[in-house]
Amino acid sequence: MNRRDFLKNSITVIAGLAVPLSALELISPRTLLARKEDGSAVRWAFLVDTQACVGCGFCVKACKTENEIPYEAGITRTWVERYVVTGKGKSCVDSPQGGREGFTSDRIDQGEEGHRELARDDVEKAFFVPKLCNHCESPACVQVCPVGATYQTPDGVVLVDRKHCIGCAYCIMACPYGVRSFHPVHKTAEKCTFCYHRITKGMKTACVDACPFGTRKIGNLRNPDDPVTKTIMSGRVGVLKEEYGTKPQVYYLALSREVK
C-alpha cells in the first residue's frame, strides 16, 4: 500500500464515520424547521398566548360551526381549560363542554364529583389555556394508523381521510394530548385540521379569527419574517408534553407548570 492509497483509504473511512456522526447530531427546532429541502415553502405552526386568554370560548364555538361538528356533540377539535391554583399548591382544572359556552362561573366542574368552588382568597393564580392539535413533526397518531387514513401534508398539517378511516381508534389512543375523537356523524377519526380550507386560501383559522384578544396566532415557520415565526424563534415559548418525542408545533407563551 503506497502513501496515496493509504490517504485515500483513510479519507474514505473518516468520511464513512462522519456520516453517521452527523446523523446523530442534535438538530435544533430552528434548523429543522428552516429546512426547505423537502420542497415545501410552508410549515404551519401555532402560537398561543396563555396570558391573553379570557376563557370566552368564542374559538370553540367558531371551530364547531366552521368545521361542521354538531354543536351539542361531546367532542371538540379545540377547547379551553381553566386552571385554578391555590396558595397551598393544589390545582383544579376544568373544561366544561370544552368551554364552548365560555367560563361564566367560579364553580369548577369535577365530573362525577360534582362541582367545586374555591374560596376567593385561596386562589393564588388562575388562568385559561386553549388546546388544539399540535400538528407534531413526528405525529404518533399518524405512525399508528394501520391503513394510511391519517397522514401529514407537506406543509405539516395532520389530516384524516374520512373515506378511508376504518374507525379502530388506535390514533386516538396514541395521541398524548387527547385531541382526537370520533365524529358523531361520519364515524371516523376527527381532529383539528388547522382549518386547512382557510389557511390554504390565505385566511387564518376560524379560532384565530374568532379570538378577540389575539390569544391564538397561526404562522408559517419557513418564513423568517412571519411575526409568529419571530416570536417562536426569539421568544420564550414552551410546548406541551415534550417528553413524548412528538415534536409538537403549537407553541405556548407563558406556559405554566400546572398545565397538563
Q: Does 154 bind other proteins (CB under 8 A)?
A: yes
- The region of 6-14, 17-25, 70-78, 217-225 touching other proteins under the rule CB under 8 A is 70-78
Complete edge-to-edge strand list for the sheet that includes strand 91-94: 91-94, 79-86, 123-131
Q: Does 219 bind other proteins (CB under 8 A)?
A: no
Residue 120 is given by DSSP the state G
Q: Does 55 bind other proteins (CB under 8 A)?
A: yes
Site for other proteins (CB under 8 A): which residue of 1, 112, 225, 236?
A: 112
Site for other proteins (CB under 8 A): which residue of 29, 34, 188, 255?
A: 188
Tell me the CA distances in angstroms from 35 to 27, 194, 251, one per residue in order. Answer: 11, 21, 19
Residue with cell 483513510: 10
CB of 195 to other proteins, least distance (A): 8
> Is residue 44 within 8 Å of residue 220, measured between CB atoms?
yes
- For residue 186 the three cell numbers come to 361520519
Q: Does 41 bind other proteins (CB under 8 A)?
A: no
CA distance 246 to 134: 9
Of residues 162 through 181, those in contact with other proteins by CB under 8 A are 162-170, 172-181
CB of 133 to other proteins, least distance (A): 10
SS3 category, 30: helix
Q: Does 42 bind other proteins (CB under 8 A)?
A: no
